[in-house]
Amino acid sequence: NPYILATLLFGLGLGTTITFASSHWLLAWMGLEINTLAIIPLMAQHHHPRAVEATTKYFLTQATAAAMLLFASTTNAWLTGQWDIQQMSHPFPLTLITLALALKIGLAPMHTWLPEVLQGLDLTTGLVLSTWQKLAPFALLLQTQNVNPTILVTLGLASTLVGGWGGLNQTQLRKVLAYSSIAHLGWMILILQYSPSLTLLALLTYFVMTFSTFLVFKLNKSTSINALAISWTKAPILTSLTPLVLLSLGGLPPLTGFMPKWLILQELAKQDLAPLATLAALSALLSLYFYLRISYAMTLTMSPNNLTGVTPWRFSSPQLTLPLAIATTATISLL
């Protein structure tokens, strides 16, 4: 029913907007909760056991994170007597809130739900989960001051390493994208306390790149690396462009994805954190490996029964191809 879909999407937007607009912890929590409740029916709309399982996992983790957030903010109000987001002073609720938000967006070591959940969803809902659902918790993370720097750096570094190592042995594209998401979020958290504007830049470029990657896989109707070998017959031009999109995700110059990594490493070096910058740059090599692997499977392998006569690529819908064209161009050439 289109009305139900419209209502749910409206709820999704409303939850995020409430969190954006709030300076009071209770309102922020309420926005996050509306957000979760709006996406759950979207996740379970294909009545498949796998989708229901993913939805249940997502609901449990998000409810836990929201409960932690509520507990931490009430504790903060009890200890300091005020509910303002930007004036947190006590270290205990601050730490708890940082951990709750990390669980909400799936930072390591609270990341294990993300690959499992993403694998059970279709690509469109997966895209919403990977992009839109990260906005509200990020707005709260950006607003909380005085967070212990060690916690953020540990979360960020752990995420880039886990995101690199976890994706190496995956054959399912959605799980690879989930680990890629964890690694990118790690980069954002790493720089959060030194330069919040760089965090936002990294988030924005990550959104653009993820958007085009998900749309490519949606156009190809492919969910595993093996299925990519026959994408040549489905969309020839796109198949030759996709490696550039993937390498942009990996952060290679001269593509868009290089920009946030470059600036983040530069900022870390300015803050006299050269060892940290080195570790982060080396962990990016890990994720580069699996992006290269997908590119190889897509462009440099021919499937045995590659009939060029059955190309369905001329008949793809403009609703998909226009945003795909814009996102792909942005992913490749925004540097």
Do residues 279 and 223 make contact, with C-beta atoms less than 8 angstroms apart? no
Mean pLDDT of 195-206: 97
Q: Is 192 part of any domain?
A: yes
- Domain membership of residue 29 (yes or no) is no
**What is the pTM (predicted TM-score) of this model?**
0.95
Q: What is the mean pLDDT of residues 2-22?
A: 97
What is the pLDDT, as a whole number, of residue 100?
98
Give the domain range for residue 265. Answer: 148-332
CA separation for the pair 333, 326 (Å, rounded): 11
Q: Is residue 199 part of a domain?
A: yes
- Give a yes or no: residue 258 inside a domain: yes
User: Does residue 27 contact residue 42 with C-beta atoms inside 8 Å?
Assistant: no
pLDDT, average across residues 240-249:
94
CA distance 178 to 192: 21
Total of domains in the chain: 1
Q: For residue 229, is it within any domain?
A: yes
Percent of the chain with pLDDT over 90: 84
Tell me how far apart the alpha carbons of residues 262 and 235 are, in angstroms, rounded to a whole number.
32
At position 117, the amino acid (one-letter code) is V
Residue 104: inside a domain:
no
Instruction: Count other Cβ atoms within 10 Å, centred on residue 317.
Output: 8
In a domain, 187, yes or no: yes
CA dist 329 → 195, 201, 208, 237 (Å)? 27, 18, 10, 13
Q: Within a 10 A sphere around the Cβ of 48, how many other Cβ atoms?
A: 12
Q: What is the residue type of 232?
A: W
Contacts 24+ apart (CB under 8 A), 305-314: 306/230, 306/232, 306/233, 307/233, 308/233, 310/233, 311/233, 311/234, 311/236, 312/233, 312/234, 313/233, 313/234, 313/235, 313/236, 313/238
pLDDT score of 207: 97
Residue 17 in any domain: the answer is no
